Structures are given as C-alpha cells and as structure tokens.
Amino acid sequence: MAATWGSPNRLWTDHYNSLQSTAMGFYQQASYRRLRARPTRALFLAVGTFFFLSVFILRSSSGSSENHVSKYPPYHTFHDSPEDAQIIPTPGHLFNLNDTLPNNLQKANPSFHLVIPARKKSRSLCRMLTSAMILNYPPPTLISYGRSLPEGSREYDALVDRITGIYNFLEYTPHVHDDDFVLIVDGQDFFFQLPPEVMIQRFQNLLRENNAKLLKKYGLYSRRGGEQEAQKYAHRVLFAASKECLPSLSSDAGCVTVPSSSLPPDAYGWKTDHHPQGHLNRPRWIKPGAAIGQVGDLKAIYAELLHFVDQHRNVRGDYLALTQMFGRQEYVRELERRKNSNFFKELFYSMIGISEASNTTGVAPHLESGRRYEYGIGVDYQSDVFFNMLNSKSDVEWLKYYNVSKTSSVQMEHGVPREHRLLLPTDLSAEQVGSPFAQPKFGKDEWVSPAFNKTLDGLPNAKNHTWNHIPLLTNVHTASIPALVHLDGDPALRDKWWSKMWYQPYARALLRKYVRSPTGFDAAQSAMLGGQEWWDLRGGKGGVWTDKGEWLGYAEVCIGYERDLFNDGFGSWGHEEGGDDEEPVYNQFGNLIKGKEN
Ligand SMILES: *[C@@H]1O[C@H](CO)[C@@H](O)[C@H](O)[C@H]1NC(C)=O
Ligand SMILES: *[C@@H]1O[C@H](CO)[C@@H](O)[C@H](O)[C@H]1NC(C)=O
Ligand SMILES: *[C@@H]1O[C@H](CO)[C@@H](O)[C@H](O)[C@H]1NC(C)=O
Ligand SMILES: *[C@@H]1O[C@H](CO)[C@@H](O)[C@H](O)[C@H]1NC(C)=O
Ligand SMILES: *[C@@H]1O[C@H](CO)[C@@H](O)[C@H](O)[C@H]1NC(C)=O
C-alpha cells in the first residue's frame, strides 16, 4: 500500500530534490556560456584542474582514519526490521464448528502492548483510557498503579520509579517478548484519535521511508566477519518531535547535530525557524512522552535512561538523557559519513546547497570506544503518529474532510505556503477502516451486556458517518491527522480539546459498544486459536492490567469521572439505568467474589 498520507509535504520534498538537480543543470549550462570569453575559459580550466586534483588527493588521503562502525558498533538486539514484522492481525484460516483444532496453537505474530505509567487514577488518565478503549487499543498495562512512594519522596524519586517501572515491565514480564511491539505513553495528557492498525501501519511506513534514505546516505557495513552486509544505520523506534530543544542543552549534539526537520523551510511562513517565541520552529528535537517500537529496542533505550537518571539526580533526567542519546547517535553517524566523504565533495555540495552534513559546530561529546551510541532513534516530524501541543496549539483544526469548501481554504487561513485542498489520507478511507460507529452484529437470542438501550446506545448511522464525516484533529501545516495527541503545555485547553474530539458526544455509547464484547462461538474460537487476532495474548476487554498482573475493570479506575468523560447527564458508568446493585462476579470455582448474589 502506498504511503500517501500526509502526502503534500512528502511530494514537496521530492519536488525540492528535483529542483535541486535542475538547479545544478542550470549551473552547468551557465558555466558553459561563460566559457566563450577566452580569459574566463583559462581560469575555468585552471579551477577545473585544481578541482580534479583535489578530488584525487583527498580521496586517497581519506579512508585511512579510524573506523567508527567498529569503534562505536551500531549493533541491535536483533537484526530483523521492525517495519517488516507482521503485527497487524490478518484474518487467517477460520475454523468451523465441526473442525478439530490443531493441538500446538501459539500466537504466531508479535503482540502489541500499551504501557502507561500511572500511580493513581485521575481525570486525564481516564480520558486517555476511554479514548484508547473506544478505538480498540490493547488493554493497557498501568505501571506502578496504586503504589505510593515512601514518605518524603520528591519529584526526582517519582521519575526514577516511573523509568524503573517501564524498564522492568519490558525486561521481566514473561509474556512480553523482544520482537513484540510496544507503545509507551509516559504521561497522562494524551488523547487517542485513530485506531491502532492505522498507527502501526504509519509507524512501519515511516520506518520504510526513512530507512531507504539512511541506506542511501550511509550505506552498508559487513558484520559477522564479513559474512553479511547490513545497513549501517537504521531507524527502529519513534518518538515525538518538539519545536524546542531542552534549553539547558543548547550546545549539545542533541540540540545542534540532530537532523533538520523534513518539513519545507517555509512551512510556517517566512519567519519559519526564526520567531523568538518558537511557535514557528519546525519540529525537530526529541520529546519524551510517547514512544513506539519493538520491545528489544526500547528496552535498550530505557536501560540507558535508567542508568542516567540513577547517576544524575535531575527531575528532567529522562528528557536530558534522551536528548543526549539522540545527539550522540547522530554525531557518530556524522563522523562515519565524513570519513567516507571527501573535503571537496563536502565543499562543493555545501556551495550549491545540497550538503548532507549534520551541524557539529561547537559540539564535542565525550565518546568512549566500544560503547553503543546507535539506538535507531527517530522522531515524527510530520506528526503522523504523535502530535505534541507544545508551541503548536494554533497549528490544528478539527476538520470534516467531506466539507470541501472548508478543507480547500483552511491552509490559506493558516498562512501555509503552496496551499492545496486537504484530502482524507488513504489509510482512513472506507476500504481501509470501517466507520467507528458501526455496531457489531449479534445473534437474535444472544445475551449481551450491557443490554441495548436506545437512549444510551444511540450512535449516528455508520453509512454516512465514516472517517470522512467526523471532525478530525488535523495539523494544518503538515496536513497530517495524528494518531495520538499529547496535550503538552496548556492545561486550560484540555477540556476544550476533549469536547472537540470525534467521539463526542458519543463517548459513552462507544465505550458501551466496546465493552459489549462478542460472546459465543466467535469469542471461544478466538480464545482457542490463541488470540491470534487479539493484540495481546491475554485478551481482556473493558479494563486494564497492572504491572503486578491484576485486572481492574474500567469502573474501578474511572468511576466518578463521568462528567469529565461524557458530560451527558446519564450518571455513573454501569449504573445508567438507575440500578445500584452491583453485578455479581464469580471466580473460576463459582464462588462469589464481588457484588450481591441474585
Ligand atoms: C457440521 O456437521 C453437521 C453434521 O455432519 C452438518 O449438518 C453441518 O452442516 C456441519 N456444519 C458446518 C458448519 O460445516
Ligand atoms: C550550527 O550550530 C551552531 C551552534 O548551534 C549555530 O550557531 C550555526 O548557525 C549552525 N549552523 C548551521 C549551518 O545551521
Ligand atoms: C463546511 O464548512 C463551512 C466553513 O467552515 C461551513 O460554513 C459549512 O456549514 C460547512 N458545510 C457543511 C456541509 O458542513
Ligand atoms: C444519514 O442516513 C440516515 C438514514 O439513512 C438519515 O436519516 C440521515 O439524515 C443521514 N444523515 C446525513 C448527515 O446525511
Ligand atoms: C435506557 O436508559 C435510560 C437513561 O438512563 C433510562 O431512563 C431508561 O429506563 C432505559 N431504558 C430501558 C428500556 O432500560
């Protein structure tokens, strides 16, 4: 499937490249014309001779220097590419009632885990959980839930506890494997906007695109004693991009050397990257909060973070460490690139403005030989997956894509250069994902819980309410609809933005729809097949796991926040119809463990 989402800017990049080659053409033609004058021709010949001599001299002199690939090995936990993993469940062979099941069933595809550090319940946590459930994300695992820190603990201790909790989950949970995928949402002010399939596909497409570029830029190296060739540097995990770098690190490689944004240099008008307030900067720097990747890769990163926060008692230790790690990764890549380039090529390319060099001015990180600096870290410049609100709150609109008069004018209203009509990305088209309002089908006599109620379960008609018809938070400057929104920065906007998300005012009905999991043969089959089409081996719906392996129902965490979540006047979750008797819950031996016996 072609990666056409967010296409305008991608196209722009291609366009830009072709412009550059055309520019080179002109350059050459212009030189030819000038050659007519004799003295000039002589000069050009002299310069040309010098040019070729330099190339030869420098070519032979470079390459003898140290080998950065072996000095700072770019090794990864394992070598298969995350972009090729079959994570999205494909409907495989369906068994019918008469079949006997094979007896060696195992979940063949990697699982997808959602990890959220949260010590206690809160309105923000419940908004995030509600949006994740409505979109059918795997049941999240809450890290450190219900744990209080010892008396006298400070903010720094909370940070260490959080990082430790995430690391331990990745490292020591038996059902979490290195090739599984994990989305870590470290912080509570997040809203999910798009389904998990779309998020994962975008992540994998982005890796594919970036890795093709990295292959072109850095090439291959041989490993296992020359037996195999592998791509020198690859993109494997994705973080959010921010419009500002951590201020205390302004002369670190993490602020200076990291790649420039993939957005066009005038994405925010002629003051792009120059406005003192920073809101016109193109997102370029790494921002902790959200990360997606394979467990093995993120585990290595979190081990580093943990090591760092243990040593530096800094309340923003994770931010500091991540910025430095990203910086050093890019610095080492740049050393390696320069080693394989030559002075004249560099000079010539920078003269005509197509230099590939990363900025290392005034940066001299302390590097230790043999240490790993390569973590496959990349950031999401276009906010296809992660959008960070910091300095970006006026970059968004909630757009209904079928409204052509709106989508064709909105970029102009925001002063986007070369504006054009925004189109619904193909990964949200009706062929790719169904309407989020479609109700699952149930048999006539099938028992469903909670039972259908016209008032509570009313949803718009799924036929004329596809992704094309619902208001989607759109980053107007990059033309992308992010999968996950981080409300980083302005707490005053949280209520307003929540009320504008597409699931309002149907959040309660959508959540009831999610909880009303199919029972009967389908569910049984699914379980027998090892949950192949579940995200997570453990299955489960309508609740969360804790890192201690407990299952908590949605109500246990979020009851009491209904006004903040639904604002519909139907009262307590699970007691909408006025009944106050709790559903009885039995354990596997049939003993009542909760609620009243009927
Ligand atoms: C299962 O077997 C019965 C009896 O042989 C048959 O009538 C029925 O159609 C079969 N069901 C399916 C789904 O194949
Ligand atoms: C490189 O970084 C330095 C220090 O941050 C900055 O002053 C300089 O303008 C940068 N150079 C380029 C070409 O961006
Ligand atoms: C489309 O958007 C315009 C401008 O915001 C609005 O005035 C109009 O009512 C919208 N049309 C529909 C059909 O929603
Ligand atoms: C959607 O379809 C339903 C039933 O077909 C109709 O009653 C309703 O007016 C339609 N809504 C819109 C916005 O077209
Ligand atoms: C449906 O829910 C409404 C609102 O809570 C309630 O008043 C009504 O009695 C319910 N209807 C049925 C049939 O349970």
Q: Would you state the pLDDT for residue 1?
A: 38
| Residue 97 alpha carbon, nearest atom of ligand 1 | 13
pLDDT over 90, % of the chain: 54
Q: How many domains does the chain have?
A: 2
Residue 175 lies in a domain: yes
Same domain, 119 and 50: no
Average pLDDT value for residue range 356-361: 92
Four-point Cα dihedral 27, 29, 31, 37, nearest 10:
-160
Of these ranges, 89-93, 395-399, 575-579, the one predicted with the greatest mean pLDDT is 395-399
The finding on whether 180 has its CB within 6 A of some atom of ligand 5 is no
What one-letter code names the amino acid at 500?
K
Same domain, 432 and 532: yes
pLDDT tens track for 193-227: 999 989 999 999 999 999 999 999 999 888 777 77
Q: Would you state the pLDDT for residue 525?
A: 52
Could you identify the residue written with the tokens 């004693």?
A: 225
Residue 447 reports pLDDT greater than 70: yes
Residue 279 lies in a domain: yes
Residue 217 lies in a domain: yes
Average pLDDT value for residue range 462-466: 93
CA distance 289 to 130: 19
Same domain, 160 and 51: no
Residue 102 lies in a domain: no
Same domain, 392 and 475: yes
CA distance 342 to 62: 7
Same domain, 343 and 226: yes
What is 133-149 written as a DSSP string? HHTTPPPPEEETTT--P
The finding on whether 359 has its CB within 6 A of some atom of ligand 2 is yes
The finding on whether 353 has its CB within 6 A of some atom of ligand 2 is no
pLDDT-based confidence at 33, cuts 50/70/90? very low
Number of H-type helices and E-type strands within the chain: 18, 17
Instruction: At 583, list the tokens.
Output: 């559903």
E strand or H helix at 114:
strand 112-117
Same domain, 375 and 502: yes
**Taking CA 14 as the corner, what is the angle to CA 9 and CA 17, rounded to the nearest 5 degrees?**
125
Pocket test for ligand 5, best of 570, 575, 576, 580 (most atoms within 8 A of CB): 576
Q: Report how far ligand 2's centroid is from the alpha carbon of 206 (Å).
A: 27
Q: Would you state the pLDDT for residue 191?
A: 97
Same domain, 168 and 40: no
What one-letter code names the amino acid at 279?
H
Same domain, 51 and 130: no
Other residues' Cβ atoms within 10 Å of the Cβ of residue 421 = 15
| Residue 578 alpha carbon, nearest atom of ligand 5 | 5
Lowest mean pLDDT among 199-208, 354-363, 438-447: 438-447
Q: Would you state the pLDDT for residue 35?
A: 44
Residue 105 lies in a domain: no
What one-letter code names the amino acid at 238?
L
- Torsions phi, psi of 455, nearest 5? -70, -45
Q: Would you state the pLDDT for residue 549?
A: 85
Same domain, 136 and 262: yes
Q: Would you state the pLDDT for residue 517?
A: 62
Same domain, 482 and 574: yes
Residue 65 lies in a domain: no
The finding on whether 148 has its CB within 6 A of some atom of ligand 3 is no
Same domain, 415 and 329: yes
- What residues flank ligand 4, with Cβ below 6 Å? 461, 464
What's the domain range around 35?
Answer: 20-59
Q: Would you state the pLDDT for residue 229?
A: 83
Residue 192 lies in a domain: yes
Residue 241 reports pLDDT greater than 70: yes
Residue 15 lies in a domain: no
The finding on whether 406 has its CB within 6 A of some atom of ligand 3 is yes
Q: Would you state the pLDDT for residue 142?
A: 95
Closest by CA position to 156, among listed 302, 321, 317 = 317
What is 538-593 written as a DSSP string? T---SEEEETTS-EEEHHHHHTT-HHHHT-SS--STT-TTS--PPPPEE-TTS-EE
| Residue 96 alpha carbon, nearest atom of ligand 1 | 13
Same domain, 52 and 114: no
pLDDT-based confidence at 228, cuts 50/70/90? confident
| Mean of pLDDT over the chain | 82
